[in-house]
Amino acid sequence: MQALRLKQWHSEPELEEVAVPEPGPGEVLVQVGASGACHSDLHLMHEFEAGALPWGPPFTLGHENAGWVHTLGSGVRGLEPGQPVAVVGAWGCGTCRRCLDGLETYCERPDLAPVPGGGGGLGLDGGMAEFLLVPAARHVVALPEGLEPTDAAPLTDAGLTPYHAVRRSWPKLGPTATVLVIGVGGLGHLCVQVLRATTAARVVAVDPRGSARDLALECGADLALAPGDDLVAEVREATQGVGVDVVLDMVGSDETLATGAACLRQLGDLTIVGLGGGTLPVSFFGVPYEASVQSTYWGNRRELVDVLDLGARGLLRSHTTLYTLADAAQAYRDLASGTVSGRAVVVP
Ligand code: NAD
Ligand code: ZN
Ligand code: ZN
């Protein structure tokens, strides 16, 4: 089969012929229906040095996957060939305290995991291929009625990551709250919808691209603003001078973190989701009183079930541009040049 592979750090991925994997005991072979192109893959291709992560190339890209169960390894029960499924992306050991809590993103025995701190498309072969080998049946979740793999794939990361981040701040997102979403790309446009579906907060979105601001409004944002010298004043004006209760930063650059902190209200949450590499000096008088600055990473299996349910009910809908596997490298080039609206999704 063909697979889009990252062969070394600081390189563009290449299509290559690889063998179709055979599922061993407990494993599941998924026929890929769709695999999303995440901006994290661009960071991986261009910004990481050998040794910075406990894993590295070569591997097949694509950590945002859905499809159909194809073949079951021995001992797997409860799944049927042909059944539509989404793939839970982070693959931990399954038995440490964090994994038992469902937080395989924070597995504390990476030495016992299939790959330390990664998963399919992150150190191990991912979904930008016809088939994806999933190392344990708990990493696949049945799709609810009415949700196709092409709709479900983006929900496994671009939907799940904002859901996990928003959920952490639910107590601060009551009906009189305002939330600022910075960056309305793959994650951001679903973040706006997660906020709409699960809170009554007012949503202000920020993106330099006019098309992304239009998409934010289409997704339910109350206000969409462009970054620039007036942004902080515009956000303050939209909040009667007090600032926003929660900032969800899907970019994470020096500029966006500084903007987020300047827009934040006392007791607010500033959540860093984007891997933009920026820093924010935090000190007593440097951020609003009792503000919490936090990062979040992906989400867990239980949350994915919630997100897929929201998807099946039409409350979360990825705005998607489809690419063939032959064009998958182009999907990443388009993502890098900022011409993708919503999520680029590869259908092998
Ligand atoms: P994307 O390229 O689809 O979207 C990024 C958006 O940010 C674009 O719309 C872009 O126009 C906008 N943007 C750029 N500069 C901006 C600025 N100064 N102010 C406001 N908006 C700006 O990327 P994506 O796939 O949605 O990923 C977003 C970020 O989240 C990436 O850094 C990615 O690596 C990261 N990510 C983190 C996690 C996690 O678990 N923490 C998971 C997935 C992705
Ligand atoms: Zn991702
Ligand atoms: Zn573990």
The model's pLDDT over 312-346, given as tens digits with 9 standing for 90+, comes to 999 999 999 999 999 999 999 999 999 999 999 99
Contact 143, 167 (CB under 8 A): no
How is the chain split among helix, strand and coil, in percent rounded to 5? 30, 25, 45
Query: What pLDDT is recorded for position 173?
Result: 98
157 CB under 6 A from ligand 1?
yes
Distance 71 CA to ligand 1 centre (A): 35
Test site for ligand 1: of 35, 41, 207, 333, most ligand atoms within 8 A of the Cβ? 207
Distance 29 CA to ligand 1 centre (A): 31
Query: What pLDDT is recorded for position 43?
Result: 96
Please report which ligand is nearest the Cα atom of 106.
3
Q: What is the pTM of this model?
A: 0.98
d(CA 55, CA 50): 9
64 CB under 6 A from ligand 1?
no
What whole-number percentage of the chain has pLDDT above 70?
Answer: 100
The SS3 call for residue 137 is helix
d(CA 242, CA 264): 8
Q: Which atom of ligand 1 is nearest to the CA of 184?
A: 9
Query: What pLDDT is recorded for position 130?
Result: 98
204 CB under 6 A from ligand 1?
no
Query: What pLDDT is recorded for position 62?
Result: 98
Distance 289 CA to ligand 2 centre (A): 32
260 CB under 6 A from ligand 1?
no
pLDDT digit string, tens, across residues 1-11: 999 999 999 99
Query: What pLDDT is recorded for position 139?
Result: 97
Query: What pLDDT is recorded for position 212?
Result: 98
Instruction: Please name the residue whose Cα sits nearest to atom 13 of ligand 1.
Output: 183
Query: What pLDDT is recorded for position 108?
Result: 97
227 CB under 6 A from ligand 1?
yes
Interface predicted TM-score (ipTM): 0.99
User: Is the Cα dihedral 84, 89, 91, 97 positive or negative?
Assistant: negative
Q: What confidence tier does 137 reach under pLDDT thresholds 50, 70, 90?
A: very high
Instruction: Please name the residue whose Cα sits nearest to atom 5 of ligand 1.
Output: 185
Query: What pLDDT is recorded for position 32?
Result: 98
CA angle (165, 274, 102) in 5-degree steps: 40
Instruction: Please name the residue whose Cα sits nearest to atom 36 of ligand 1.
Output: 274
Name the average pLDDT for the chain. 97
164 CB under 6 A from ligand 1?
no
Contact 293, 272 (CB under 8 A): yes
Q: At what angle do helices 160-168 and 301-312 cross, to 10 degrees?
A: 110
276 CB under 6 A from ligand 1?
yes
d(CA 195, CA 159): 11
What whole-number percentage of the chain has pLDDT above 90?
Answer: 99
Contact 219, 227 (CB under 8 A): no
More confident residue, 50 or 194: 194
Query: What pLDDT is recorded for position 299?
Result: 97
Contacts of 8 (CB under 8 A, 6+ apart): 57, 58
Q: Which atom of ligand 1 is nearest to the CA of 340?
A: 3
| Mean pLDDT along residues 176-200 | 98
Instruction: Please name the residue whose Cα sits nearest to atom 23 of ligand 1.
Output: 39
Which residues, listed in sequence order, are joined to residue 202 by a DSSP beta bridge?
Answer: 178
Please report which ligand is nearest the Cα atom of 61.
2
| Mean pLDDT along residues 25-37 | 98
Q: What is the largest CA-CA distance in the chain?
A: 62
Q: Structural domains in the chain?
A: 2-142+318-347 (3.90.180.10), 160-295 (3.40.50.720)
Query: What pLDDT is recorded for position 146?
Result: 92
